[in-house]
Every structure is written in C-alpha cells, then in structure tokens.
Amino acid sequence: MSRSLWLALWLFAAVSTGYAQQEVADGDAALARFDLDAALKSYRAALVHSPDNYEATWKLARGLCDESILLKDPNQQKQLCTEAVQLARTAVKLRPDDSKGHVYLAVAVGKLALYEGGKRKVELANEVQKEAKRAIHRNDKEDLAYHVLGVWNREMVELNWVLRKFAELVYGKFPAASMDDAIHDLEQAVQLAPKTVPHRVELGITFAAARRWSEANDNLEKALAMPKTWVTDDYYWDQARQTLKRVKSHLE
C-alpha cells in the first residue's frame, strides 16, 4: 500500500470516527430531553460511520430495550428486543472486559424472554444471571446489574411448578434464588443510583411479592415522588400505581 493511500484511509477513518463521536453525543443530548426517537437515530447514524463503535453499539441496544417498554404491540416489542440482543452481543465482543456490554446483554435477553414460551424463557434466564454477574465482576458499581439480578431472583422464586422442573434441567438443580436476595440486590441498586426510578419501583414490587406491605408502600410512594430522569419513568410510575393499589388494600 502506498503512503498516500494509507494516509487517505487513515484520514477517512479519523473523520468517520469524529462523526460517530458527535452522533453519540447528539444521542445522549436527545435522551436528556427524553426524545428517544432522536436518540435512536443518532446512535444508528454513529454505527453507519463507525460500525465498531462500542459506545454507540451498547447505547443503541439500551435504547431499543427502552423503546420496547414503551410500545404496545408484542410483535414490535419482540423485534426490538431481538435486535437489542444482537447489538449487545456485538458490544461484548468489542470490549469483553467492560461492564456495559454485559449488563445490556442481560437486560436485552431478559426482555426478550418475556415474549418467549416457558422452556425458552428459562433457558434465557440462565444467560441473564450470568451476564449480570459478569457485569458486576467487571464493575461492582454497575447499579443496573444489581437491578437485573434482583428481578431475576424474584422471577425465579415465582416460577410455576412446571417451569421449576425445567429450570432444574437447565441449571442442573434449581438455581439458588430467594426473595431476600432479590431485595438485597435491588437495595444495592437503589444505594448506588438513588435517583433511578425503576430501581425504587422494582424494590417496592419485590417487597409486595414478599408480602412486606409497609416497606412496599414506602418504596412505591417514594418512587412516585421522584423527578423524571429517564424516558421509561412514566411506565414504571404506572407499574408503581398499580402495585400500590394492591399494597394499600393489605394495609387497611
């Protein structure tokens, strides 16, 4: 390769990288004003200019997971989760030692499991736990990984008998899951990111699942009083209100 051709390729790569960095920044700014559509467009544009851009990859996966929460059509939701899983797997390959790829793979796989049948759901749950733990191993301040583990523990405890038996086949034995662990993990998530609405809501829902009504009430009330900081907060507030009705009926 001639020196001039090498220089031209280097300049092209540098310019493309610069465009991608700006588009990632534009996506972040769009999220700050709760414009998810604009954020997704920016992250996609960044990947056009720089297909191996790690930050754009995991942030697009995150955005697709958020969009799946906000949509109503199950087919569209599953399609978004499937794409998010693919992107998160790519992110893990790009930087296997960073926590973000692993945590958003756990999130994406967990959300995809919502649209799968029972046996497939359990198989995916196995990966959710592993990826969340891998994220924590790489960064023990990764609050979302503790959130994922907390929800995972609660859902494992609430599995019906048939899926429990299948889970034993997948895991070798039924995984060590408990409501106490679920509460502990979600409390850790809240401690690390106290302004994050979903952490507080899921903690309240988990206290309700454990029939600890007073603590459920306190956490759900706190969640509803928190300011909006993310595009999915309205969805989680709705979940909090629905759960709070049931909680208050037990406190009366």
pLDDT one-digit tens code per residue, 179-204 = 999 999 999 999 999 999 999 999 99
Q: Are residues 132 and 241 in the same domain?
A: no
User: Mind listing the pLDDT tens digit for each residue in 97-135?
Assistant: 999 999 999 999 999 998 887 678 778 888 999 999 999
Q: Are residues 67 and 44 in the same domain?
A: no
Q: How far is 159 from 167, CA to CA, in rounded Å?
A: 9
The amino acid sitting at 216 is A
Q: How confident is the model at residue 238 (pLDDT cuts 50, 70, 90)?
A: very high
pLDDT of residue 117: 74
pLDDT at 89 over 70: yes
Does residue 36 contact residue 70 with C-beta atoms inside 8 Å?
yes
User: Mind listing the pLDDT tens digit for each residue in 156-165?
Assistant: 888 877 777 7
Q: How confident is the model at residue 41 (pLDDT cuts 50, 70, 90)?
A: very high
User: Minimal CA–CA distance to 192: which of 203, 177, 181, 208?
Assistant: 203
**Mean per-residue pLDDT, 218-231:** 98
What's the domain count of the chain?
3
pLDDT of residue 175: 73
Q: Are residues 66 and 188 in the same domain?
A: yes
Residue 122: give its domain's CATH number.
Answer: 1.25.40.10
Among candidate residues 193, 212, 241, the one where a domain is terminated: 193
Provide the residue range defining the domain that includes 44. 1-51
Q: Are residues 124 and 216 in the same domain?
A: no
Q: Are residues 102 and 225 in the same domain?
A: no
Among candidate residues 9, 28, 51, the one where a domain is terminated: 51
Q: How far is 229 from 213, CA to CA, in rounded Å?
A: 27
Q: How far is 225 from 131, CA to CA, in rounded Å?
A: 32
pLDDT at 13 over 60: no
Among candidate residues 193, 212, 230, the one where a domain is terminated: 193
Q: Are residues 93 and 165 in the same domain?
A: yes
Q: Is the pTM of this model over 0.85?
A: yes
Q: Are residues 65 and 75 in the same domain?
A: yes
Q: Are residues 127 and 149 in the same domain?
A: yes
